[in-house]
Amino acid sequence: MGRPSVKEERQEQILEAYESCVARFGVEGATLEKIAQEANLARPLIRHHVGNRQELLAALADRYVRKSNEIVTAMLASLPNSRACDQLLTWLFETPATDSKMVLVAEALIAASQSDPSLAKRMRRHTRGFVNEFAKFFKSEFPKADLAQIQAVATGVVGIYFNVESLVPLGNMRDVREASHKAAHALVDSLRA
């Protein structure tokens, strides 16, 4: 496979800079000037390699969704054959799966969705996909459980996880993480009945 083109390298450089700016300043505060400065590029190169602000935002959302999906796929694929649910909940709640920057980007994208229907649709689709991946996992672990209950548990676990992850930028919230882990276990235990 050949070396990535200069355009691909520049796009990655710009999106990395945009991600950093969005994490620090939010979507509205991540100006082209700040992105150019962070990327160490001339401002016109941003438009040339990625596009206008709307295209830049769409590319950032795609990048976030791709990274998030890769994390979930790798996590689910690496679960052991025995006690997989326990291990999954430990990974979700005992150690942060993402870094603060990724959490801040997610929060900024969700906030920006309020005034951008296309972004809102993309983020809803991603969130539902996230829940559905967990529902598939729980269905494989508890094949006799009611599908509606599985969906409710998957939604509850993901909701608790998203809440805990949203607190990552605050720093030490171990007590909240531990209580959330117990709450998620209670939900999963309801599938055993």
At residue 97, does pLDDT exceed 60?
no
Any idea what DSSP says for residue 52? S
More confident residue, 5 or 140: 140
- For residues 99 and 134, the model is more confident at 134
Q: How far apart are CA 133 and CA 68, in angstroms?
A: 12
- Asked whether 176 and 164 are in contact (CB, 8 A), the reply is yes
Joined together, the tokens standing for residue 61 give 């959302």
Compare 2 and 176 and report the one with higher pLDDT.
176
Beta strands in the chain (DSSP E): none
Q: How deeply is 83 buried, as exposed, middle or buried, from its count of CB atoms within 10 A (0-12, 13-18, 19+)?
A: exposed
pLDDT mean across residues, the chain:
90
Instruction: Please tell me the predicted confidence (pLDDT) of residue 168.
Output: 81
Collapsed DSSP state (helix, strand, coil) of residue 96: coil
Cα 65 from Cα 71, distance rounded (Å):
10
Q: Do 119 and 113 contact (CB within 8 A), yes or no?
A: yes
pLDDT for 1 beyond 60: no
By percentage, how much of the chain surpasses pLDDT 90?
69
Q: Each residue of 148-192: pLDDT tens digit?
A: 999 999 999 999 999 998 888 888 888 999 999 999 999 999 998
Burial of residue 149, with CB atoms counted within 10 A of its CB: 0-12 exposed, 13-18 middle, 19 or more buried: middle
Q: What is the per-residue pLDDT for 98?
A: 59
For residues 90-119, one letter each, b for 16 or more C-beta atoms within 10 angstroms of the residue's C-beta and e for the rest, the string is: eebbeebbeeeebbbbbbbbbebbeebeeb
C-alpha 20, offset from chain centre: 15
- Percent of the chain at pLDDT > 70 equals 95
Residues 6+ apart with CB under 8 A from 93: 160, 161, 164, 177, 178, 180, 181, 184
Mean pLDDT along residues 84-95: 89
Q: State mean pLDDT over 74-93.
A: 90
pLDDT number for residue 116: 94
pLDDT of residue 51: 83
In this predicted structure, the answer to whether residue 96 has a pLDDT above a threshold of 70 is no
Pick left, alpha or beta for residue 172 (phi over 0 → left; psi -120 to 50 → alpha; otherwise beta). Answer: beta
pLDDT, mean of residues 51-77 = 91
